[in-house]
Structure 1
Amino acid sequence: MAVMISHTSNAQKFLEDASGLTNSAGNPRVKTLIHRILCDSVKIIEDLSVTPEEFWRAVNYLNVLGVRQEAGLLVAGLGVEHYLDLLMDAEDKLAGKSGGTPRTIEGPLYVAGAPLSDFEARLDDGTDLGVVLFMQGQVRNTSGEPLAGAVVDVWHANTLGTYSYFDTTQWEFNLRRRIVTDANGRYRFRSIVPSGYGCPPDGPTQQLLDQLGRHGQRPAHVHFFISAPDHRHLTTQINLDGDRYLHDDFAYATRDELIAKIIFTDDPERAAAYGITGRFAEIDFDFTLQLSDQPKEQQRHERVRALEG
């Protein structure tokens, strides 16, 4: 029979003391969070009869997770990052905020300070011999009006499924740019068709997913931050139609409105119009932003990001 002591007054006082609730120093919000985490943790230990061996395996797992810097990957893989989106969607519905391009997860691989261009840019540095991609679209508000001067902050993986800066074989801003829309709210860029990718097979995230009977694969996708004065900041990504994992994304980021049709062509005349030869791909995708007069909503959520701050 499992022994339950978390409900006793001695145990409750112990947890309050451990989380700092019995002193006047420190941060009240942190104390509240830690107290809840401690209380829930000991309940899990009791309710599921967690053994000392299981407990210390979990502690070691956290050590390995930190060494491999996969915490951001794990919260995506367990759906926690997507759950934050679901909560924000529910909050918007309750507040009567509707319309616009749907949000979806940021992921852990953004790098601040990518080069800024007017209207158009080339994202790749020419070293990856992938299929050339031309993408264009318009940024509008929910009334359909074009948003001139909006910033389209875009980043994606290469054909090996790796991201610049984190993959030190690439220039730190390869496949990363910020593009300012023109007077008609339009943007366009040249890049390469990204590849989907999976969690490192020897890493702690995939190790846990194996225990859950789940894969760690993502479909090919392109990340975006879209921002404009007096509008809500948008964190989103498009997933490319036809990918094997389009509706089986381990990070739960696919939304039907964010599936982008990608058209491949071998037409030499169309290629020549772009100034290239050979096979290439095209994507047209527009973004719609909600109006907002709240400065906090106009900014991306604060978190630790590479080269930010």
Structure 2
Amino acid sequence: MTVKISHTESAKQFLDEASGLTNEAGNPRLKEVINAILHHTVQIIENLNISPEEFWAAVNFLNVLGARGEAGLLVAGLGLEHYLDLLLDAKDQQAGIEGGTPRTIEGPLYVAGAPMYDNEARLDDGQDPGTVLFMQGRVLDLAGQPLAGAVVDVWHANTHGSYSYFDGSQSAFNLRRRIVTDAQGHYRFRSIVPSGYGCPPDGPTQQLLTGIGRHGQRPAHIHFFLSAPGHRHLTTQINLAGDAYLHDDFAYATRDELIAEIHFNDDPKELVEKGLENRFAEINFDFVLHPSQKDDDEECRQRVRALEK
């Protein structure tokens, strides 16, 4: 039989003291959050009859998770990052905000400070023999009018599923650029077709996912931040049609409106025009931004991110 003491007055006083609610120092919001975490944690321990062995195994898991730098990966894999998007969607719906390109998760692999280009850019450094990709489109407002001077901040993995900065074998800012749209809202870039990838097979995230009977695979995708004066910042990504994991993304980032058709072209005439010897791929995708409702709408949400030096 499980003994429960978490709802007793003495237990409440103990957890209030442990979370700092009984002193005048510290951060009130942090105290409130820690107090809630402690209350829910002890209730889980009691309700599921967690043994000391299970408790310390969980503590060790958190140590390994931090040492491997996989906390951001795990919150995506358990759907928590997607859940934040669902909450924001619900708030938009409640406020009557509809339409536009949907948001989806950022993930843990953005690097600030990518080079800025006007209208078009080449993302790759030419070292990866992947299929050349040409992607283009426009950034528009809700009325379908072009947004000149919008910034398209784009990043994606190479053909091995790795990202520059986190993969030391790649050059700085490989497959990362910021592109400013032209007067008609156009952006375009040349890159390579990215590969899908999975969680590190020897890491704690995959260990946990395996324990609950789930895989850790992502479909091929391309990340974006979109920003323009007077409009809400958008964090999103497109997933490439035809990928085996398109509708089975372990990070729950796929949305129907964000599936991009990718067309492969091996027409000899077009190969000559583009100076290529092998087939290439093309994607056309427009982004639609909402007008800003409040001062901080135009800003990217604050979180700790990597900064390339």
TM-score by shorter chain over 0.5: yes
What is the CA-CA distance between 1:265 and the residue it aligns to?
1.4
Q: Which residue of 2 aligns with 1:295?
A: 295
Moved over 6 A (4+): none
The aligned counterpart of 1:171 is 171
Equivalent residue letter for 1:244: A
| AA of the residue aligned to 1:265 | N
- Distance in 1, matches of 2:240 and 2:168, equals 26
Determine if contact 2:173/2:308 at 8 Å carries over to the other structure: no
1:138-217 alignment, distance < 5 Å = 138-217=138-217
1:57 maps to: 57
- Residues 1:86 and 2:86 aligned together: yes
Counterpart for residue 284 of structure 1: 284
What is the one-letter code of the residue matched to 1:63? N
User: Does the aligned pair in 2 maintain the 1:232–1:297 contact within 8 Å?
Assistant: yes
SS of the residue 1:179 aligns to: strand
Query: 3-state SS of the aligned residue for 2:89?
Result: helix
Q: Which amino acid aligns with 1:163?
A: Y
Distance 2:13 2:308 in 1: 41
Q: SS at the partner of 1:183?
A: coil
SS for the counterpart of 2:291 is coil
Tell me the equivalent position of 1:228.
Answer: 228
Contact 1:131 1:279 in 2 (8 A): yes
**Which residue of structure 1 aligns with residue 31 of structure 2?**
31
Where does 1:254-293 land on structure 2 (aligned, <5 Å)?
Answer: 254-293=254-293
Partner residue of 2:74?
Answer: 74
**Counterparts in 2 of 1:113-152, with a 5 A limit?**
113-152=113-152
Task: Give unpaired runs (5+ residues) of structure 1.
Answer: none
Aligned residues: 309
Tell me how far 1:77 sits from its aligned partner.
Answer: 0.2
**Equivalent position SS for 2:225:** strand
1:250 aligned partner, one-letter code = F
In structure 2, how many angstroms separate the alpha carbons of the residues matched to 1:216 and 1:188? Answer: 31
Native 8 Å contact 2:219 2:246 kept in 1: yes
Question: 1:294: Cα distance to partner?
Answer: 1.9
Partner Cα separation in structure 1 for residue 297 and residue 149 of structure 2: 18
Tell whether the 8 Å contact from 2:165 to 2:308 is kept in structure 1 after alignment.
no
Match of 1:306 in 2: 306
Measured in 2, the distance between the counterparts of 1:269 and 1:105 equals 39
Percent identity of equivalent pairs: 72
CA RMSD in angstroms comes to 1.0
AA in 1 matched with 2:226: I
Deviation at residue 272 of structure 1 after TM alignment = 2.1
Looking at structure 1, the residues matched to 304 and 53 of structure 2 have their Cα atoms a distance apart, in angstroms, of 33
> What SS class does the counterpart of residue 6 from structure 2 fall into?
coil
**Contact residue 141 and residue 290 of structure 1 kept, 8 A:** yes
Shift of the alpha carbon at 1:278? 1.3
8 Å Cα contact 2:265-2:281 kept in structure 1: yes
| Residue identity opposite 2:82 in structure 1 | H
**Who is 1:237 aligned against?**
237
State the distance in 2 between where 1:52 and 1:86 align.
35
CA–CA separation in structure 1 for the residues paired with 2:197 and 2:56: 31
TM-score, scaled relative to structure 2? 0.99
The equivalent of 1:5 in structure 2 is: 5
Q: CA deviation at 1:208?
A: 0.0
1:268/1:278 contact within 8 Å kept: no
